[in-house]
Chains A and B, each alone.
Chain A
């Protein structure tokens, strides 16, 4: 009845009809023209999208442009930079394990899930190690990392994955960045390549390693910092961790996904600087969430020097990694190797 009253009122007022029609038309025109005009504004630097493919550090590109070379591996690592900067694939190979480190910058459980869903069947790992940390933030930084990366193969599937991440971010800025990066990937760079007769620059690794800025990318996905290898001690204010419920949900989904494939897994909390770790007031709440799962926290389990074995508060340098990997591999051989999936 309310709708009937509204409809009668609607059709009886021509001015209102005209008003709503004009507003709707302008809105539709804005939606249609938004993407091309936004790309023009961004190209002319009249708006500032987040990092683009032109500024990408390329580490994620290198990783996923070589992933198709990996099948039936022993261990798959996933997680944020704590994963790809802490598990040195060379050491695992020396110990007879074929591994791939699928960690990417600021990768959150949202990206863990999306990547595992896509790559588990191809990689067919016998074991999965998920580097975890109390999830506090939205999946924005990692989404941007993927948005501005250009992958050689399976472009349609990659675009679907990127779009999935963009939608989960629920951020208009990220949508803008996605639009602009699509323009760069599919319109600007190909046209530029054609006009200037230069090949499209897709990053992939040729040998065993390649230097990117102050990092060295090792085939298999490990990244090692080359400069500024020490870290000064800082003070941190004690703070309570505020968990991001969406990330917790996706962590559980990742675990369910791995379990559904009958693949054994381990949740690992990689060591960070002591002062930073001790600043978290309620770490026990986080550990409580994981009690039903195989979980190891290496903070406190390994003695590392906060200044000489870390290059920043979150990441071990190559000396710290060497020490950590030795312990981890020893633990892995002793406790987890028997549970390898067939």
Chain B
């Protein structure tokens, strides 16, 4: 049940009406209803794994209580370790078991040993990364004393399975449980802003991401038959595709949360305007990066603090390799993470990493030349990294890069530019960039509540809604991050 589907619309209308009408005066009733709705939502997407979600929730709920009630520090430590091992182990099993078997088999074959290793048909549960991280942060925060276990199992279950976020994030922290325990009143302004954010997310996903995908997939399906300029265009469009797809999904999730009275953590802060790679990762998939910063990077940084800047570099590189590998079981993802980790080196050694990048604008509201240059450089570095991200294998990435640096790179590929589906997409990307640039200090691109003319605001909503309906290129294309 993806957000941009009629099924989800019908589901959410029912949830919204029941949530705010008969249940509006009972917080517990609302939470029970949300929990059931979330299990229904998850079961609709992947009913075979619903028992896994429920069992994992129960185990970690009681584990959190056990950690808080541990008789000694050592007992608390081992209980937390057990929880982390269970969570990480489950994730490793579902995501990486076959990958490691295949890799070991390839390694053995490469040295002349023929290992008869079998892979299993392991189906990865949808959203496993996202709900596992929620469960892990709960037990770790309890152990660290940053939080207390909740007695409200319904609120805890809803926090883990919360339907707007379960399939692709954002990854909220256990503090979200407080929102579930507080009384919620219908807030008109918040609901309207939620609708705006959903509309903007739909626009990015349906009009931009899905249309970019049509071109990008075609090019990647036949790398050898493309000119260098076409490959370059595909590489650039892939960044827009993945940004529009994932930030679009996050916008929709946050918007849906607002409609039922919740503030979900922001996941994107206009990363296309980042001034350097550190700034980029502070703006891209914020909840994942901050999760790994708190639970991986910081402990590593403390461990390696005696090594100065090189200790920090090592911590960052390890963290980014993990970020890369989180995306999937392929060496390309590991290399993607390593690439981004290494990009931090000049920033750390020059001291720029420790300064918050501040964007300067000229009198026309545009970035000054130096900052524009930095934005373009960061953009280019990210585009290069995404070649590894998109490729099915290192060999395919190499083929793509070799095609890019072909002597004919600047020969225009007229057939591609003539493609009727690409022209409007380029225009919509430009519109997205302009709108997000103008609202870069707001929470989301369509945060236009301060526009004085109500008629103008409504006209914008109507046009965007029409564009979404008009430009649906394919029926119910999956979100990219569902596979992670």
Contact = CB atoms under 8 A, between A and B. Distances in A.
B420 A45 contact: yes
A20 to B, nearest CB: 9
B195 A6 contact: no
Contacts of A42: 470
B421 interface: yes
A6 B427 contact: no
B21 interface: yes
B22 A47 contact: no
A59 B110 CA distance: 58
Interface in B450-484: 458, 461-463, 465-467, 469-475
A243 interface: no
Interface string B353-383: 0000000000000000000000000000000
Interface in A1-35: 2, 5-6, 9-10, 13, 15-16, 18-19, 22-23, 26, 29-30, 33-34
Nearest to A32: B462
Contact of A5 (B22, B187, B469, B474): B22
Given A6-B17, A41-B470, A19 B191 contact: yes
Contact of A30 (B20, B192, B462, B473): B462
A91 B413 CA distance: 47
Contacts of B22: 2, 5-6, 9
Contacts of B470: 34, 37-38, 41-42, 47, 176
Interface in B1-53: 17, 20-22, 24
Given A46-B427, A48-B421, A173-B473, A15 B21 contact: no
Contacts of A48: 420-421, 424, 471
Interface string B174-208: 00000000000011100110010000000000000
B188 A15 contact: yes
B442 interface: no
Interface in A150-179: 171-173, 176
Contact of A26 (B420, B458, B475): B458
Nearest to B466: A37
B423 interface: yes
A46 to B, nearest CB: 5
B423 A33 contact: no
Interface in B384-425: 420-421, 423-424
Contacts of B474: 173
B interface SS class? helix
Given A30-B462, A33-B462, A34-B469, A16 B423 contact: no
Contact of B461 (A6, A26, A37, A173): A26
A2 to B, nearest CB: 6
Contacts of B469: 30, 34, 38, 172, 176
A34 to B, nearest CB: 6
Contacts of A13: 24, 186
A23 B195 CA distance: 9
Contact of A172 (B20, B195, B423, B472): B472
A22 B458 CA distance: 10
Interface centre among A5, A19, A29, A172 (most CB of B within 10 A): A19
B462 A15 contact: no
A1 B24 CA distance: 16
A321 B17 CA distance: 62
B277 to A, nearest CB: 35
Given A33-B466, A47-B471, A173-B473, A9 B420 contact: no
Contacts of A22: 192
A243 to B, nearest CB: 20
Contacts of B465: 26, 30
A42 B470 CA distance: 9
Interface in A162-211: 171-173, 176
B424 A45 contact: yes
A16 B466 contact: no
Contacts of A45: 420, 423-424
B306 to A, nearest CB: 57
A6 B21 contact: yes
Contacts of A34: 466, 469-470
Contacts of A9: 20-22, 24
A172 B427 CA distance: 22
A173 B475 contact: yes
Nearest to B259: A19
Nearest to A27: B465
A172 B474 CA distance: 9
B469 to A, nearest CB: 6
Contacts of A19: 186, 188, 191-192
Nearest to A5: B22
B475 A172 contact: yes
B295 to A, nearest CB: 39
Nearest to B464: A30
A123 to B, nearest CB: 36
A47 B471 CA distance: 6
Contacts of B462: 26, 29-30, 33
Interface string B429-460: 00000000000000000000000000000100
Interface centre among A2, A9, A42 (most CB of B within 10 A): A9
Nearest to A179: B470
Interface centre among B423, B466, B472, B473 (most CB of A within 10 A): B466
A26 B457 CA distance: 11
14 contacts: A9-B20, A15-B188, A16-B186, A18-B188, A19-B188, A23-B195, A30-B466, A30-B469, A46-B427, A47-B424, A48-B420, A172-B472, A173-B474, A176-B470
Given A19-B192, A34-B466, 7 more contacts: A6-B21, A13-B24, A13-B186, A15-B186, A19-B191, A45-B423, A46-B427
The 4 closest A-B pairs by CB, nearest first: A15-B188, A6-B21, A9-B21, A47-B470
Interface of A: 2, 5-6, 9-10, 13, 15-16, 18-19, 22-23, 26, 29-30, 33-34, 37-38, 41-42, 45-48, 171-173, 176
